[in-house]
Structure 1
Amino acid sequence: MKEGESVSDYTARVKSIVSKVKQYGEKFEETKVVEKILRSLLPKFDYVVVSMEEAKDVSKMTVDEVIGSLQAREERINNINE
């Protein structure tokens, strides 16, 4: 994730890359995509990742669940900063 990039822009970019890789026959399990998203977030989301890992079994989460949680947290962060 790039500094200043929104969660929705970042996850759209990740989904696009995954889609292109799948077109070439590579299999990508949803858990791999979830793990990659969580690992590549900016440090300001560290506490979100930890809380997600503690509260839920990340291996059972879908990409859409992760994206929804991250977008909700990003909205809260933005509201607090304003």
Structure 2
Amino acid sequence: MNHDTNFTNIVIFFIKAAGSASGSPRLQPWLTGLTAVVVFLFVVFVFVILKRICGKQREEEEEEVEEDDDEDVKVERF
């Protein structure tokens, strides 16, 4: 979770920097909410993709271990 905390801190830094710029117009409340929802959905999408990639790698590793175990022990089934 350390990477999540770092990412959150970076995002907060850029939001504060953008808000403190002189002469920058303030967004309307509905646009701020819409932006927050879009960013949240994007972050969730990235996490889902990363979870699928990591899950596939784990499944492949588990299959290799199971194949190695199957070769070592041969049980005759009736």
TM-score, normalised to structure 2's length?
0.40
TM-score, normalised to structure 1's length?
0.39
Q: Relative contact order, CA 8 A, sep 6+: which one is greater?
A: 1
